[in-house]
Amino acid sequence: MSAKRLDFDPDGDLLLHLTYSPDDSNDDDEEQLVGSLAEIALKPASYGRKQDKVSAPNEVRMLVSSKHLMLASPVFKAMFNPEHFREGKLLGNSDEVPEVEFPDDEPETLELLMNIIHGRARRVPSEISFGTFTNLTILVDKYQMVEPAIPYIHLWLARHKTCHTRTKNFTPQTLLPWLCIAWTFNVSEIFKPTTAFLVKESESRLEAEGIPIPDCVLDAIESQRVHGISTLIEAIAQYRLWPLPQAPYLGFSIWSIANTFRALKTVAHKHYEPSHPLHGVDLHPHRYMKTFLNDTADAVWRNATGLDIKSIRGGPQKSRKRNTASRR
């Protein structure tokens, strides 16, 4: 097993021990970035150099300052508390620098994070791949280290925002890394259009396995999706068109139903007027089924503008539970 040592603090008092397979190195390019973000997002990703897959080390030790880690992260502060965790008891109780295993973290992304919190700004690149950006966001959320990373976020976003605007290349699932980045770093100008796309295009409640997105965000997206489809279904019911799908409308999206409305070829009903006009849809002077359905589809599409990140952050957050006591 080949090994590599990285010293972030020459006088460090803690060694972080990480291992990974040489086959895990990731050489993602711009084509991958646009085509399959979710697939890239959870792979290890080089942020400053290409690695030789044959000679890449599969064991890394990082000499760090426990003080820096505890100042930057409440998770590390709790982990290195000698009264609660084994890692804390190791610090100061040995003549040698204690070593702590980090089996779940990707080494190159943790290396980037350690450079940030140890103030090694010249070693922090001005551009990173989207895979690294997503991996870093996951680590930042895991260790609750948003503040140290903030100075670099807008710098990195400047490159990747152009890719985010190419929504025709994305599916709801592949946009989840963008949603994670926007939520974690409170980037409203990305959060709102991303959630608008997800509201319109999703066909069921989104599942963000492996990507830290709070349930309150996913629930709000699903609520808007179901509400939009319910409005469209109500319009169909006015004309007694059957069978009607049932909530939560699995396999249906606002986009697919709205496009079906627009593609309908119908016979005019000159004297028809729905008994329950829909809010936001101007029926006068239209008295035709197709016009009414098209107006409904257009109104639902316009109203699906996405979520406001401030209102969600201000309300109760049913996020996944953080587990800071995983190591003892």
pTM of the model as a whole: 0.76
pLDDT digits over 268-294, tens only? 445 445 555 555 544 443 446 778 888
Which of the two residues, 267 and 290, has the higher pLDDT score?
A: 290
Both 108 and 154 in one domain: the answer is yes
**Tokens 């587990």 -> residue:** 323
- Structural domain of 278: 170-320
Question: CA 180 to CA 217: how far, in whole Å?
Answer: 10
Asked if residue 128 lies in contact with residue 47, where contact means CB atoms within 8 angstroms, the answer is: yes
Both 107 and 25 in one domain: the answer is yes
Which residues pair with residue 59 across a beta bridge? 19
Contact partners, residue 219, CB within 8 Å, separation at least 6: 205, 318
* Greatest C-alpha distance within the chain: 91
Question: Of 165, 194, 218, at which residue does a domain stop?
Answer: 165
Contact partners, residue 23, CB within 8 Å, separation at least 6: 53
Asked if residue 178 lies in contact with residue 37, where contact means CB atoms within 8 angstroms, the answer is: yes
When divided into structural domains, the chain yields a total of 2
Q: In which order are the strands placed within the sheet that holds 4-7? A: 4-7, 59-64, 14-19, 99-101
| Closest C-alpha among 195, 177, 192, 187 to residue 155 | 187
pLDDT digits over 47-106, tens only? 444 444 455 558 899 999 999 999 999 999 988 887 777 777 777 666 788 888 988 899
Question: CA 302 to CA 264: how far, in whole Å?
Answer: 20
Both 233 and 259 in one domain: the answer is yes
Domain CATH for 45? 3.30.710.10
Q: What is the overall mean pLDDT for the chain?
A: 78
Question: CA 163 to CA 181: how far, in whole Å?
Answer: 14
Both 216 and 308 in one domain: the answer is yes
Which residues pair with residue 219 across a beta bridge? none
